[in-house]
Amino acid sequence: MYLKSDAVLNGYNQYSMERRYVLNQEFISHLKLGPIRQVQSVSGGDINQAYQLETTQGRVFLLIQPNHTKAFFTHEINGLKLLEQFVKVPKVLSVGYWQNDAYLVLSYLAHQSHGDDFALGQALAHIHQKASPNHHYGFGEAFTMGTFTADNTWQSSWSQFFIQQRLEPLKEFCHQQGVWSLPLERAYQKAIIRFKMLMGDYQPQPVLLHGDLWSGNFMFDLDGRPIMIDPAVFYGDREFDLGITQVFGGFNAEFYRGYQETYPVVAGFEQRVLFYELYYLMFHLSQFGIGYQQAVTNTLSKINR
């Protein structure tokens, strides 16, 4: 264990709880960050253990992924490098492996929760204008969100990619967890038929996506400029990202106006975007259990009206 205190026994992922730890000096020496003044456990989602470290040279952000090699962070690093062409992101300072765990050190960005939402929408629109390098959907390397590993093998068909490499694996995962019911299966199969019909009239360009753009994955710097974090990038239908933004809220009218004025959505968006909301709710059902079952049911009902 890297960070030692009685509070650690209560779990690493409690949000915004300031704690002081006695650091494992061997690990800190390995990081080559210099003397550490303070450690604060911060929100790192449910994937990584996350810490803000205050060193004598300034602050850094540390992510630890237990029981993985440093390859675990390859996709996040690649995603940050792609997104930094269009929006402010943390800089990668180092990545490595210590004992049984992977770690990633990122620059700390002073931030606030409010800023230029219009510019955030514009930034996402500009990201969505970066075309796939091979005109296919995917990315060529898988990535893991929680306990779900997403297959990013390149495909020429968006419909095939989205169904076979997103929805179907999530459905199987939910089934294994015992949270997928027969009524859900019937509604899901009906929805898949609907999705294929809609894709017959809509051929999305494969463009760069953030891949996990919920309200916890953006913020603003002290000048109000947007910052994006925790990407799960791949090339797909730009409406995928927009669908995720609508699941839990946190994106205001100015955000959508900024997007729409930069890269307007096309006819039929309201019908198609429901499938991307379905994906995100199915992901949460697979990770957090039956509490999300009703939300999945409700979204399938909207799709199948």
Q: Which residues is 155 bridged to in the sheet? A: 137
From CA 177, how far away is CA 9, in angstroms rounded? 27
- Distance from C-alpha of 30 to C-alpha of 302, rounded to nearest angstrom: 53
Q: What six digits make up the tokens of 265?
A: 């959505």
Written as six digits, the tokens of 271 are 């019908």
**Burial degree of 304 (CB within 10 A; 0-12, 13-18, 19+):** middle
Q: Compute CA distances 155 → 130, 159, 197, 230, 233, whole Å.
A: 17, 9, 19, 24, 15
Q: How far is CA 140 from CA 127, 235, 238, in A?
A: 19, 10, 18
Alpha carbon distance 285, 181 (integer Å): 12
**Type of residue numbered 274:** L
> CA–CA distance from 78 to each of 21, 73, 102 (Å)?
31, 9, 16
* Cα 130 → chain centroid: 18
Asked about 212 being catalytic, the answer comes back as: yes
Hey, which residues does 218 pair with through a beta bridge? 228
**Catalytic residue of the set 101, 116, 117, 212:** 212
Provide the CA 302 distance to its chain's centre, in angstroms.
Answer: 25
Q: In this structure, are residues 102 and 65 in contact, taking their beta carbons and an 8 Å threshold?
A: yes
Which residues are identified as catalytic?
212
